[in-house]
Every structure is written in C-alpha cells, then in structure tokens.
Amino acid sequence: MALWSGRFEESANAFTQRFGASLPVDKRLYRQDIQGSKAHAAMLADAGIITPEDAAAIEEGLDGIQADIERGVFAFDINNEDIHMSIESELTARIGDAGARLHTGRSRNDQVATDTRLYMKERAAQLMDANVRLRKALIAQAEANMDVIMPGCTHLQHAQPVLFAHHLLAYTWMLARDHGRLAQARVAADANPLGAAALAGTTYPLDRFATTEALGFARPIPNSLDAVSDRDFLLDLIYACSVSCLHLSRLCEELILWSSAEFGFITLSDAYSTGSSIMPQKKNPDFAELIRGKTGRVVGNLMALMMTLKALPLAYNKDMQEDKEGALDAADTLEDCLICAAGMLETMTVHPDAMMAQAKKGHLAATDVADYLAKKGMPFRAAHEVVGRLVLTCEKRGCNLADLALEDFQAESPLFEEDIVSALDLRAIVDARTTYGGTATSAVQQQLQEAKSLLPT
C-alpha cells in the first residue's frame, strides 16, 4: 500500500506503477536519503517534535537498512515507487510508529531535492578529481617532450611550427576551465532545501539552519517554492559535463588523426586499442572514438533537462522525476571519458621524428620569411605578397622554401641576404616566439609552471 494511499480507493495497476516509478534510477541515492533522514530526525528531536527515543530508533533503523543495502540483501520493491518510500516503508516495518514519525514536517518534494543536491555535490567533486588526473597526464607528456616540434595547423592545413608540449598544454587550459565549471556546479548544488516541505514550508518549528549544518550545506534555500522546484544546479552540472566532453572530443579527434598511418605522430597503447574481426593488421583507436561519440549523449542529456523544465509552473511537478537519469548519466559518462583519456595519454608513445618530418612540409617558415622582410622596412602586406610568390615557385618546383637558393629569394626582393637561412630553421622559428603564451621553449616552460600551479595540492 502506498504511503499516500489514504485518499485513494484503488491502487495503481502494474503498468502505471512501473511507469511512474523512479526507483530503478534513484536507488543510487540511498546514502544521501538516509543521511538526510538522520539529520531531519535529529532536528525534530532537538525541536521537541519527536522524542529522543524515537530519534534514536530511527537512526538505528536507518543504519541497519543502509548496511543491508550495501551488503546487497535489501529487497527493493517497485511498489515503493522511489528510494524515499522504499526506505521509509522498511523503516516503519522494522521499528513501528517511530518510523512513521520520521516524515513529520517533510515532503518528498524537499526530500528528493535534498538527496539530489547531496549526491551531485559528491559527484562534482569526483569529476573534478578525474579532471585533475587528465591534466596531470597532459603535463607529464608535455614535460617529457619539451624538445619535440610538430606542425601547428589551421583549417587542418600546415601553418606554423609549434612545440608538441605547447599543443598538449592547450588542452590543460580547456580542462582547467572545465574544472572551474564543475566547481561552480558544486557550489550551485550546495544549498539546503530540507524544511521547505511540499512547497509552502510547514507549521512545525523546524530548524533549517540545524539541518543545513548537519548535512554540510553552505546555506539553506530562502524560498520554499524555489527550494522544491529549482533544478538549475543540475543544468549547471550537465552543462559543465557537456563542455568538458566537447573538449575531450577535440583531444580524441587529434589522437585519432595522430595515430593514423598518414600522421604516425603517436602510437596508442594496446590497452587502449582494438583490432578488426576481418583485417589482421588493424589497430583501431576505438576508445578515443568512443569518447568522441559519447559527447552526443551528454549534450543530449542537457537538452532533455532543459526541455523538461521549459515552461514548468511552480512548484513541484512529476515532470521533475525526469531530472536525475540524465544528470547521473552525464556525470557517469564524463568520469569514464576522463579516466579513459588519462589512460591513453599516460601510455601512448610519441614519435618526434615523424612530427619533425611533417613540420618540414607545407612551408611553415613562410610567416617568418615575411617577418624577415618586414623587419628590414618592407610593409608587411608587401612582404606577404613576396613570400606568397616564393611559395608558388616552390609549389611549381615541388620543393620547400628551405630548398630555394639565395638567388631565388633575391629575385623577389633585394632585401634578402645570406642570413635568410636562419629564418628557415624550424627550431629558431619556434624559439623566437617568446611572447607570453607563445610556443618558444622559454614561454612553454613558464606556461608549464602555471599549469602545474593550478593543480590541487
């Protein structure tokens, strides 16, 4: 019999019972539900609403239920449609009237919001930890490959030479911002709705500040309507997960390209690759592809919750039962992706010679040749035109700028002298970019220290 059955003459049929149940999803919140119930019972006793004996029996009964759940011997009954009713029903069966007094001054509306906030605070912190591991993996590879030069690209076309370390560190800054978004989502969840009851508060003298302190929340939510209807904190979390997955998809796309025969920049560990059922030679970057693919489901979870909340009137509506599954899935998916990406980075093999060989293609010195002329007084736009003609010459001859003779350069401009050779050296080109945030070794070393300083100690 449902805990709200007094007003009803008929029970829900098997289909509607199953259709309306959230237990398969929200049973993951059992620890938070028990934690919230303990805090609520202790506060009720302190306020003189229930006796200390009832509060002690409730705590002991809840401890027993939690132990049974964690041992895998607790029988979840779909007729108790959610984790809250499952635990309360069992508690009342075990300790009698004391269990039936637990819900005094409380609604499932504020109860579920409390459980969800507690859970998402914890998940956000776990995601932040996984984020840090991946950043450490990127930093470690950057440190190990500080002298490796690769072609930097725009439009997937060779553009200018950069340090491989510089390229990897770009992702640490994306992930640092992701970490900040996860931290903000955690702050958004860190508010206590318990005591708002169904929507209007309660006539019982509840101490919401006491439960706030007991549950480790930063503050109670000041409006009871907002307390039970706010799901912005879930939007914040799924948004943070979505952006992080977008960043991971970019990283994984590059790992996929770099591990191909056309690039050959890296080799992924066998532990993060798979083979083919028909082609014996294949070594596929399946796990990088999976991370790239899972981005869609996380972004889809964000869209789903946004549409669930669109035009939803105050206060609580059953639509909100759809809030947790997507949020849980987004958090689970991101954590798995972060762990997998860290493993790939930690175990991959870098091939510096292949990167340098590609860096020598595509006229990556062209901008520096133009700068050479500009520094000798030629307007940059005119210098750009001169170098463009030199590149066209190379294209027609099937060679690179470094293959041209001094006479070829001087045929386009008398400003070229023998020192033009230094403008064609890739390492000199890289190390000339000493501006803050640039790709010179000195600038990347500074960037590396800054990236490390943002890691939690």
Q: Please state, in angstroms and rounded to a whole number, the distance separating the CA atoms of residues 454 and 174.
A: 12
Cα angle 143, 149, 155; round to 5: 115
Exposed/middle/buried for residue 222 (C-beta within 10 Å: 0-12, 13-18, 19+)? exposed
Q: Please state, in angstroms and rounded to a whole number, the distance separating the CA atoms of residues 229 and 224.
A: 9
Q: Which of 5, 11, 269, 276 is catalytic?
A: 276
Q: Which of 197, 205, 188 is nearest to 225 (CA)?
A: 197
End-to-end CA separation in angstroms for the chain: 52
Q: Which positions ≥6 away from 453 have C-beta within 8 Å?
A: none
- For residue 276, indicate whether it is catalytic: yes
Cα angle 361, 363, 367; round to 5: 145
HSE toward the beta carbon, residue 356, CA cutoff 13 A: 9
Q: Please state, in angstroms and rounded to a whole number, the distance separating the CA atoms of residues 323 and 301.
A: 9
Query: Which residues face 192 on adjacent strands?
Result: 220
Q: Which of 155, 247, 363, 453 is catalytic?
A: 155
HSE toward the beta carbon, residue 241, CA cutoff 13 A: 36
Q: Which of 143, 184, 186, 188 is nearest to 166 (CA)?
A: 143
Instruction: Provide the 10 A C-beta neighbour count for residue 182.
Output: 27
Report, as residue numbers or ranges, the catalytic residues.
Answer: 155, 276
